[in-house]
Amino acid sequence: MFVLAALLLLLAVVAVFAAQNAHIVAVNLLGWHFTWPLAGVVLITLVAGALVAFLIGLFRQLSLRLKIHDTSGRLRKTVTDLSTTKTDLGKVRDELEKVKAELGRSKATTAEKDQDLTAVRAELAVAKHELEEARRRSASPGPAPTPETLKGGGRGGTGSGRE
């Protein structure tokens, strides 16, 4: 309603302008020479200016719509990429959990093997000690060692082989 009232007011102003500026003026335009009422020349110039402004505004609006369309497409692609990245991140996290579990199992296996290695080293140290003891006994003068004495059965040993 307000727009209609404003339009009627503008029409009234144009009518008053045309009535007050009815005298004839000479117009020269691109080599053309003609005479027109001043109000007609001003109104035609006003309409031509409004048309140029409309076309410029229309071009700008279409340009902005194209930018919006392009930006919307890029936004959709970014959202899709984000979704894919989140899915990939979930897969990587699952894989990380699997690797952590495998690492835990490997650590447990390594600890068991370290214990086994320590036990073997201890047995090796005992065997080395027994070998040195046997060599010492065989190098000392006296009766030759028998298999029982080498095993710890002789000379008052306990029979365990560890003296």
Per-residue pLDDT of the chain (163 residues; tens, 9 = 90+): 888 898 888 888 888 887 887 889 898 888 889 898 888 888 888 889 999 999 999 999 999 999 999 999 999 999 999 999 999 999 999 999 999 999 988 988 898 899 999 999 999 999 999 999 888 888 876 666 666 666 665 554 454 444 4
Let me know if residue 153 belongs to a domain: no
Q: CA 42, 48, 53 angle in degrees (round to 5)? A: 125
Let me know if residue 138 belongs to a domain: no
pLDDT of the residue at 163: 43
Let me know if residue 134 belongs to a domain: no
Containing structural domain, residue 20: 16-105
Q: Total domain count for the chain?
A: 1
Let me know if residue 91 belongs to a domain: yes
Distance, CA of 36 to CA of 41 (rounded, Å): 7
Write out the two tokens for 51. 């048309």
Let me know if residue 45 belongs to a domain: yes
Write out the two tokens for 39. 């109000």
pLDDT of the residue at 126: 92
Write out the two tokens for 157. 């040993």
Let me know if residue 25 belongs to a domain: yes
Let me know if residue 11 belongs to a domain: no
Let me know if residue 155 belongs to a domain: no
